Amino acid sequence: MKQPPLLARAQARMAPGALTRDGFLGADPRDLVEILQADDGAVRRLGLTHEAIGGAMARLTDAALERLGATARVGGFAVSAVEAMGQLPCPFGHAGLYPKAEVRARRTRDGAERAWTALHVHLVRDHGFYQGRGSPYRIEPADLAGFLGLGPAAD
């Protein structure tokens, strides 16, 4: 599929140094539209929605942010956030600003850990964007859903 201009502009804002040091695309050679389509297909095959995955991330993220750096314990997870000064806009041009925060989640039953950012939650939930392959915060949709205990992929 040909990439629409709106997504081309978003892809430009995802380059390293544009909004964040590492950007959002890693070494992924695909156009943004291809990344979105592939991940959308993966989520559909799991019988899930981006809203459900993003919603589960948001619950953990909100709990972590409320604790101002201390650990929060939420439904089988221990989560904490490192929040810096400043805020970030959405690279898709969506209205709103998001905390500059890295969230670290540990599943207490097996010690599995994942990290994402506050902006990442919005990108997943509202744009179905899980970042490009090689991006520091890329989490494969199936892996993320499994980690969060969602749908048939839950392990």
Question: SS in 3 state form for the chain?
Answer: CCCCHHHHHHHHHCCCCCCCCCCCCCCCCCCHHHHHHHHHHHHHHCCCCHHHHHHHHHHHHHHHHHCCCCCEEECCEEEEEEEEEEEEECCCCCCCEEEEEEEEEEECCCCCEEEEEHHHHHHHHHHCCCCCCCCCCCCCHHHHHHHHCCHHHCC
Residue numbers 74-113 binding other proteins by CB under 8 A:
82-89, 93, 95-97, 99-102
Q: What's the min distance (Å) between Cβ of 110 and other proteins?
A: 22
Size of the site for other proteins (CB under 8 A): 32
* Residue 132 touches other proteins, criterion: CB under 8 A: no
Q: What's the min distance (Å) between Cβ of 83 and other proteins?
A: 4
Q: What's the min distance (Å) between Cβ of 99 and other proteins?
A: 6
Q: What's the min distance (Å) between Cβ of 102 and other proteins?
A: 4
Selected binder of other proteins within 30, 38, 58, 136 (CB under 8 A): 136
Selected binder of other proteins within 2, 5, 70, 109 (CB under 8 A): 70
C-beta separation of 103 from 71 below 8 A = no
Residue numbers 7-36 binding other proteins by CB under 8 A:
15-22
The residues binding other proteins (CB under 8 A) are 15-22, 65-71, 82-89, 93, 95-97, 99-102, 136
